[in-house]
Amino acid sequence: MGTQAPSDNNNSYARTSSFEEKLAKQKAIDEWLPITSSRNAKWWYSAFHNVTAMVGAGVLGLPYAMSELGWGPGVVVLVLSWVITLYTLWQMVEMHEMVPGKRFDRYHELGQYAFGEKLGLYIVVPQQLIVEVGVCIVYMVTGGKSLKKFHDTVCSTCKPIKQTYFIMIFASVHFVLSHLPNFNSISGVSLAAAVMSLSYSTIAWGASADKGVVPNVQYGYKESTVGGTVLSFFNGLGEVAFAYAGHNVVLEIQATIPSTPEKPSKGPMWKGVIVAYIVVALCYFPVSLVGYYIFGNEVKDNILISLEKPAWLIAMANMFVVVHVIGSYQIYAMPVFDMIETVLVKKLNFSPSRTLRFFVRNFYVAATMFVGITFPFFGGLLGFFGGFAFAPTTYFLPCIMWLAIYKPRKFSLSWWTNWICIILGLLLMVLAPIGGLRRIILDAKDYKFYS
């Protein structure tokens, strides 16, 4: 009997030691993964990360979206989207630390808490990946197109160069930048991108206003059939949805802000979000309304393509777009890197190393570059991705999580608000991809691969 106690003590010590080893290993992995490795961000990091994530290539397509929606519906959709997405973003900021002592650092972790371990993953991860990978592909195309426009404007007598090569030049920057370890390490790139977004948006509407209304401007729907007009309208909805895409990285951005019970991260994060949304309004509304007013239904799917003069200003604006989408690409790529690296290290037991990161990130950049080169249908991609994946993750998934977790009283203001957002978001998710797909098919008719 006397020999039993030491054995129990040994087993207990072994279990404690094993548990501590697991915790230490888990801590080391978390300190290596890009989302959780650095938590010393200030509130203004949140502001410019959110501006960079939100004000992307989508703003340049808004005048075109207005031409598909028309004056009345266009203004209503723009204002409603701004209000609804600010509300759903507030919900996500609030839900980040709703469980005392725990932080939902990633969108799918919040989904797992709301819907259950497995179902949460199945609901959130595919949609989030479609958004983030989709944005990276669209930004590859946008970066390449803007570089080409810059080259053609500055050197109008030069020999034409294929768009494919410009997309490759744009991608080459990301083969370097993608090796920055985490969100805080890309804050300089993100700040430059945020400044650029305000700059090129101002140039877009300022140069349009200076140009004056084009002769014989028309504001009616340009499609000749009712069916075509309706499908174009659906595509316009998707393009507006694409412009409000920051929700897919908001929890990951908030994860970089320090938090204590006395000073939770939601305070500085919300301050940054408010600043970001003021910048969003200053970019989106003038570009949409002035651009459509000046060009009418002849506006191109990228407002800067409609503007030809002054050449130096348009060239500069296109270069600003390139700098901005470099930052935006990195903001959307970081959570994807985090997901891939988490699976490789935690599930497949690869050891965290620079070599692993080198191969993972270079492969991702190469893959998005290849798809961007193969399918550069910019306007159609905006409409398709905007409706298919942005509507759920931006417009109504936060509302469903809020109802599932907080369970507001039936028919209360919170209950009604969330259900209205869910219904509008579902309509957007169903209708917008139909218009986007039609647009891709129309663009693909005349397209020559790798031209």
Q: Which two tokens stand for residue 280?
A: 């969003």
Query: How high is the mean pLDDT of the chain?
Result: 83
pLDDT tier at 17, thresholds 50, 70, 90: low
Question: What are φ and ψ of residue 216, in 5° steps?
Answer: 55, 35
Q: Which two tokens stand for residue 445?
A: 């008719």
Lowest-confidence range among 14-18, 24-28, 208-212, 225-229? Answer: 14-18
Per DSSP, 302 falls in state S
pLDDT tier at 384, thresholds 50, 70, 90: low
**Cis preceding linkage at 286, omega within 30:** no
Q: Which two tokens stand for residue 81?
A: 């989207």
**pTM of the entire predicted model:** 0.85
| Residue with the larger pLDDT of the pair 436 and 234 | 234
What's the pLDDT at 11?
A: 59
Helix (H) or strand (E) holding 257: none
How many Cβ atoms are within 10 Å of 245's Cβ, its own excluded? 27
Residues 345 and 351: their CA atoms lie apart, in Å, by 6
| Residue 436 scores a pLDDT above 90 | no
Task: Name the packing angle between helices 117-154 and 163-177 (round to 10°).
Answer: 120
pLDDT tier at 361, thresholds 50, 70, 90: very high
Helix (H) or strand (E) holding 16: helix 4-32
How many Cβ atoms are within 10 Å of 22's Cβ, its own excluded? 10
Q: Averaged over 139-166, what is the pLDDT?
A: 86
Residues 109 and 125: their CA atoms lie apart, in Å, by 10
Q: Averaged over 109-133, what is the pLDDT?
A: 87
> Among candidates 246, 248, 255, 262, which has minimal Cα distance to 96?
255
Which position has the token pair 């140009």? 211
The domain over range 37-445 is classified in CATH as 1.20.1740.10: yes
> Under 8 Å CB-to-CB from 226, ≥6 apart: which residues?
none
Query: What is the CA angle 47-422-48, rounded to 5?
Result: 5
Per-domain residue ranges for the chain? 37-445
